[in-house]
Structures are given as structure tokens and as C-alpha cells.
Chain A
Amino acid sequence: MMEAIGPLLNLIIFLLLVSVGYFAGTLAEKRHYQSIQKREAAWLRIPAVSARFDEKLPQASGGEMVYGSAVISIDYFKRILAGLRIIFGGRVTAYESLIDRARREAILRMKENAGPNTDIILNVRIETSSIGNSANGGSVGSIEALAYGTAIRTSQNG
């Protein structure tokens, strides 16, 4: 009887972590998406495009590199769900929202970095990397998205 308490305690802690991961993770995601949508609408005026512009931009008064990066962590629930996906294969839908949030947050931060006087951000690139891997498992800890591009300002905007 006594020997069963240790493993049982481990199981309870595990289930607790999974539910904390689910509820806290879902709440954080919901609030983050609300913030992203609000700020995306506010920064919609400034285009961020991936096109390269080889020709001269005579009206441009200045150009500088702007960047934004965001790191989003997985939660315990998503880790378990993705762990099951490793066995069965298929789309890891649990991680999709993480990448999506990181990318959109990074672009928003890049625009915030460029400032409201920017006319356009050219040559935008997005890079993703996983950081904070746990030492023993090699599983994903959190993901980083880095967005960078060239902010162009015209003389009118100063």
C-alpha cells in the first residue's frame, strides 16, 4: 500500500501539470490573439512586403534595417499532445498556433520598431528557430520568430 503512494503522487502531479498547462496555455493564447488582432488593425497602414526593390527610390529620405522577434513557449499540455503525435504522425496542430503567434508578433514588433512614420518595409524575411530545448529529451522548449526588413521613409513623412 505504502509503495503505491509514490507513483500515485507522481501521477497526480503529472495530471495537475497537464491541466495547469491546458488552462493557463489556453488563456495566454486567447489573450495574445486578442492583442495581436488589435495591433494588426492599428498597424495595417504600413505595408510589410517581401519584394526586393532594385530601382532607385527618389522620394525616400532614409532607409534602415528594422527587426522584431518574439519567443513563445509551449505548455505542458501541448508537449504531451505533440509527444503523442510523434507516435502516430500527422499534423502537430498543438504547435501551429505557437508558430503563428510568434510570426505575427515578430512582424508587429518589427513595425513597432520601424515607427509610425514609415511608409513601407521592404525585403521582409521571417526566420524561426527553437530555443530552450530541454537537456534530456531534445524536445522543443520554446520557439522564436525573427522578422527583419528595410524600413523606407519618404521626405513628406520626415
Chain B
Amino acid sequence: MVRYTPKLPEKNVNVTPRSHIRELFVLLSGLIAIVVVVYFLLGLVVDQLVPYVPPSFEKKIGSVYLRQIEGIDKKDPRQPVLQAMVDDMTEKCVDLPYDVEVIVVNDQLVNAFALPGGKIVVFDGLLKAVESENELAFILGHELGHFVNKDHLRGLGRALVGLSISLTLLGTDSHLNDMLGSSLNLNRLRFSQQQEGKADIVGINSLQCRYGHVKGATDFFEGLEASSSFRQLRHYFATHPAESKRIDDIEEYRIKQGFEKKALQQLPSVFGTPDSTSTE
């Protein structure tokens, strides 16, 4: 007969004595490391595949984004001027397998971007801020450079890779997916410093090709001090190390290539006079 002697267990074998916080950090950093590696590798795959994306497919992607843009002004008198400049540049200076269309958007953003499928979106705010045709031509040439390098497709491809990873890991119902999904929004798509630099080179080359000199190339970043309404922004551009490096790189390239600086071309009258008496 077994005699029952009641006693409490000395230690609890069913619960592992382990710091849960530490476990969380170990697992989380492992996961992040894997995600970063996969994202990087798939990014390289995207870079390899991008040259094979046909222009027709690119156009399809572009039209999806185009529908989301509000305030497109088809009757803007500056549009035909911009279009003529771009047509001229794509004909003589920049080699692209498709025609590029310029779209003017009535918005005070000082920005322009390249949509997949050969659309350059230019905001009214930018058109008001530029002071010479050369400066404008550089910005348009820069955007054409993004088309040449297919940067928008690379950016989209990477954003898609990021979203796919997060969907796989977290399922469809997750805050992180909303965050990554919004990175597919072209307004928020950021190109790398290297991509911007390459596009700048295309921009400066098309300036040289169109005007025979490259004065005005860096005006967008540095030369707009006269007008005060965009001072905050310009201050940002001028002091931001990445932007001042871009100016230096453009200048270095100019000297290396022996491009000259001559007189600036006035903007056509439809652009109005540059706003230099703002009180803001």
C-alpha cells in the first residue's frame, strides 16, 4: 500500500523560467534581419527584371496612378510649352522608346515626378517657382532621366516586394500593411540618392544638348533665394547635405565634361513674371 504524504512541488517544471522581453527582442531582431535580407535580394531581382518590362505594361501601371491625381488642368496655357520642350528633348537629346506627355496639376506643391508609362506630372507650385527656361528644362530632363533609368519601376517593384513580405508574414489584417501599402503611392515613392544623381546627369546632358550650355542646372536647388515665399523649402534644399551634394556632383560633372555656362533663357510669357514680392 502506497502511503500518501502531501507535499507541494519544489519547483514548477511546466513553466520555463525565461525572460519574455528578451525572447521578444531576440525573435523580433531575427525576423527583421531575415526580412531585410529577403527585401534586399528581391530588390536585386527587381533591378534585373525592370529592363524587360514592356512600355505597354508600363503605360497600364501609369494609368492607374493617373486616375488618382486630382486637379489635372488640361487647358493650362503652359502645358503646350512644356510639351514642346519635352518633345524637343526626347527627339534630340534623350533616347526613350515611347512618347512622353506632360501633365500640369493645379496644386501648390513645388514638385514634379515621373509616372510610369511616360507621363511627367508638374505641379503649379513648381512652375511658379522656376525663373528661367533653362531651370525648367533641367527639371524636365531630370524626370526624363528617371524614365531612361526606369527608376519609377524599380521603386514600385521594391514597394511591392515590401508589401508582399508583410502580407506573407502578417496576413491581410495588419497596420503594417496599410503603412507599406501607402508606400506604393507615387507621391511618397522616394528614389535613392544614386538614382537622383543619375537622373541629374541626364538632366544636365539634355540642357547641354538643347541650349549648348548648362547654366541654370542647379537653380532649382540653390538659386531661388530672391523670392521669399518658398524660403523654408529652399532653406531645406540648401542645407540638406544630400541636396548640397547633388549640387556639387552636378558642378563636378559640368567641369569634367567641359560644359559652359552662358546667358539664361527667359521663360515664355504664359508663365507670367516670377513672384518676387511675396510678403509671406
Chain A residues proximal to chain B, CB less than 8 Å: 3, 6-7, 10-11, 13-14, 22, 37, 40-41, 44-45, 47, 49, 77-78, 80-81, 84-85, 87-88, 91, 93-94, 96-97, 99-100, 120, 136-137
CB closest chain-B residue, reference A84: B27
Of B14, B28, B175, the residue contacting A96 (CB under 8 A) is B14
| Most chain A beta-carbon contacts within 10 A, residue among B24, B30, B173 | B24
Of A37, A44, A84, A136, the residue contacting B7 (CB under 8 A) is A44
* Overall SS of chain A's interface: helix
Give Cα A22 to B175, complex, Å.
Answer: 20
CB atoms of B20 and A94 under 8 A apart: yes
Q: Number of contacts between A and B (CB, 8 Å)?
A: 67
In the assembled complex, the CB of B22 is this many whole angstroms from the nearest CB of chain A, namely: 11
CB atoms of A93 and B188 under 8 A apart: no
Interface size grouping (class) on chain B: 20 to 34
B residues less than 8 Å from A10 (CB atoms): 175, 178-179
List 27 contacting pairs A-B, 8 Å CB cutoff, sorted by A. Answer: A10-B179, A11-B175, A11-B179, A22-B21, A41-B8, A44-B7, A47-B6, A77-B20, A81-B20, A81-B23, A81-B27, A84-B27, A84-B28, A87-B27, A87-B31, A91-B16, A93-B18, A93-B20, A93-B23, A94-B20, A94-B23, A96-B16, A97-B15, A99-B14, A100-B12, A100-B15, A120-B4
* Overall SS of chain B's interface: helix
A residues less than 8 Å from B15 (CB atoms): 93, 96-97, 100
B residues less than 8 Å from A84 (CB atoms): 24, 27-28, 31
CB closest chain-B residue, reference A8: B179
